[in-house]
Amino acid sequence: MRKKVTKAIFPVAGMGTRFLPATKSVPKEIMTLVDRPLIQYAIDEARAAGIKEFIFVTSRGKGALEDYFDLAPQLEQELRKKGKTELLDILKSTNMDSGAIAYIRQHKALGLGHAVWCARRLVGNEPFAVILPDDVIAAEKPCLQQMVEAYQETGGNMVAAMEVAPERASSYGVLDISEENGQLVKVKGMVEKPPADQAPSNLAVIGRYILSPSVLQNLNKMKSGAGGEIQLTDAIALDIENHNNVYGYRFRGQRFDCGSKSGFLQATVSFGLAREELHDDLKAYLKSLMLDDA
């Protein structure tokens, strides 16, 4: 019987410098997309996939992120007193059970691989997920849930994959593919941020992973790679050499890079239009802007 994936790592130690001055006092992960912080979208996706234990790899200055998941008894009391039951339900949905969340400090920014390695003792000898909150994915069935279902058939390691324009390949980890099987591809190699003319494909790794404990063992031996950082891609690639058990999963959905201002704005418009109570006003406003530019 294959072990279920019940633990997820959320690397949230980054300083969010692309969003300064906002991130001077507000962690990037609780910047609001419509009316929910980025981290809430990641948590909701993890819950839908059956995740029960949430491991945050943080750094100094992330106290507001920790507070976000705490109870707010005074606010709940006020909402209850005013009969605002709908808002009370929304508020309660952000609460996390005692013990469900753990926080680990990454003291130096040494890369994504290092951030994941910091959580090794909490993961233990179990498969685990990694979710990058900057990547927000709008999908009918949440992306990680799609991957968990596919993982039940394959085991091993799985990365979310998306086709990108060839000239954009140098911004991603890129898959070298040996076999294709619908949504799934068998991976024979991974290259972190290759020059566009040297990319083995245009299938890029997006911020969702299901990984085996052996990847953590690989990270124990890792030296710095691309950009002088310890790359998670390199540790996964080593598992291809040792076990030949890495798969890419072409998820169904639209990914927004909310680590960039442009991607964040695009996501705000898209998620706003998807909300019934906002759709008509927002669409009318966007149409008026288009007419003004014509």
What one-character-per-residue DSSP string does 142-190 give? -HHHHHHHHHHHH-SEEEEEEE--GGGGGGSEEEEEEEEETTEEEEEEE
CA–CA separation, 119 and 109 (whole Å): 14
Sorting pLDDT into bands at 50, 70 and 90, what band is 106? confident
The string of pLDDT tens digits covering residues 224-243 is: 555 567 888 888 888 888 88
pLDDT beyond 60 at 74:
yes
Q: Which domains does the chain have, with CATH numbers?
A: 7-259 (3.90.550.10), 260-294 (no CATH)
Residue 75 in contact with residue 67, Cβ under 8 Å? no
Range of weakest confidence among 40-49, 94-103, 261-270: 94-103
pLDDT at residue 1 in the model: 66
Task: Report the predicted TM-score, pTM, of the whole model to 2 decimal places.
Answer: 0.89
How is 205-240 classified by DSSP, letter by letter? EEEEEEE-HHHHHHHHH----GGGS--HHHHHHHHH
For residue 69, which phi and psi values (nearest 5 degrees)?
A: -90, 5
Q: Helix or strand or coil: residue 202?
A: coil
